[in-house]
Amino acid sequence: MSAIDVKPCDGVGAEVLGADLSGDLTNSEFATLRDAFSEYGVIFFRDQTLSPEQHIAFARRWGDINVNRFFKPVDGYPQIAEVRKEPDQTANIGGGWHTDHSYDVEPAMGSILVARDVPEKGGDTMFANMYAAYDALSDGLKETLNNLKAVHSSRHIFGDESVAYTKDSDIGNRLGNSDAATQDAVHPVIITHPLSGRKALYVNMAFTLRFDGWTAEESKPLLDYLYTHACAPQFTTTFKWKPGSIAFWDNRATWHYAINDYHGQRRLMHRITIEGCALH
């Protein structure tokens, strides 16, 4: 029997106790983690000591690794993307509600973020529950949204004309390959999650442009309503990073937001993203 204990958090997610991710998990232990990931959308671990090789090995247990197009990789490990902010930098990566890779035709399943260097204070990450956000909608709005698809894109975030490169921002020197930001995708606004079978809201304010067949102007009022609704306090939790902390989130069931409140301090995280599938 697995000694792993799963403790749900308020709002979204669960903390997993008793798992050593640096070793070979038994099939029973892995099944416990998989069930928790499917049910809670994000799982948190504390006091882990993972080498880059062990980080990669744990990720591969879940699926193929997506080598990030835009983030700078860790030296010698192209599978691992750096999420870095130095003390002299002001902008952070991920400083707004979003879900990773929704611009891909087959969006990433999830991302495993390992804390390497955390500030003494601040630098937390918020997560929001897209299962609960869907469940709380009225029956009438659910019916409307079930018939809609939305257009997502990477161009305005990572492309040559993106905010990172055109405004007074120091993010650009931590990103690259802007000419590869050519991804556009259309996904259902309400998806049936491929692991849990539950309905989830699948739009996000970073990468969603408009509803398919609608103009951006027509789409904006309803999208803005959904964005405000989905990050209501009852759907969210805040994860406080410590040395050895790991968060593994499901991009189909959650949003996340890296809080930029630690100016003058260093924050370095290692992220591996795992390939997903088409959404329906």
What is the pLDDT of the chain when averaged over all its residues? 94
> For residues 238 and 30, is the Cβ–Cβ distance under 8 A?
no
pLDDT confidence of residue 163: 59
Closest CA relative to residue 118, chosen from 46, 40, 18, 19: 46
Mean pLDDT across 157-161: 76
Name residues whose C-beta falls within 8 Å of residue 280's C-beta, 6 or more positions apart in sequence: 188, 191, 192
Please tell me the distance from the alpha carbon of residue 70 to that of residue 180, in angstroms, as a whole number. Answer: 8
What is the rounded distance in angstroms from the CA atom of residue 212 to the CA atom of residue 109?
Answer: 23
The residue type of 22 is: S
Q: What is the rounded average pLDDT of the residues 64-82?
A: 95
Instruction: List the catalytic residue out of 55, 187, 193, 271.
Output: 271
Annotation marks residue 271 as catalytic: yes
Alpha-carbon torsion 72, 74, 80, 85, what sign? Answer: negative
Is residue 98 annotated as a catalytic residue, yes or no? yes
Domains and CATH numbers, the chain: 5-274 (3.60.130.10)
Q: Nearest Cα to 30, choosing from 238, 244, 248?
A: 248
pLDDT of 181 reads 65
Which one from 100, 116, 187, 270 is the annotated catalytic residue? 100
Q: Which residue is catalytic, options 98, 101, 210, 270?
A: 98
Instruction: Please tell me the distance from the alpha carbon of residue 93 to that of residue 157, in angstroms, as a whole number.
Output: 11
Per-residue confidence (pLDDT) for residue 247, from 0 to 100: 98
Which pLDDT belongs to residue 1?
Answer: 45
pLDDT digits (tens, 9 = 90+) for 22-53: 999 999 999 999 999 999 999 999 999 999 99
152 catalytic per annotation:
no
pLDDT digits (tens, 9 = 90+) for 62-72: 999 999 888 99
Spacing of C-alpha 220 from chain mean position: 23
Sheet strand arrangement including 208-211: 184-188, 149-153, 208-211
Q: Establish whether 100 is a catalytic residue.
A: yes
Using the structure block, give the residue that is written with the tokens 């232990």.
Answer: 29
Residue 59: is it exposed, middle or buried by C-beta count within 10 angstroms (0-12/13-18/19+)? buried
Give the active site residue among 101, 193, 256, 267.
Answer: 256
Angle at 58 between CA 54 and CA 63, to 5 degrees: 140
Query: In whole angstroms, what is the distance from residue 75 CA to residue 93 CA?
Result: 19
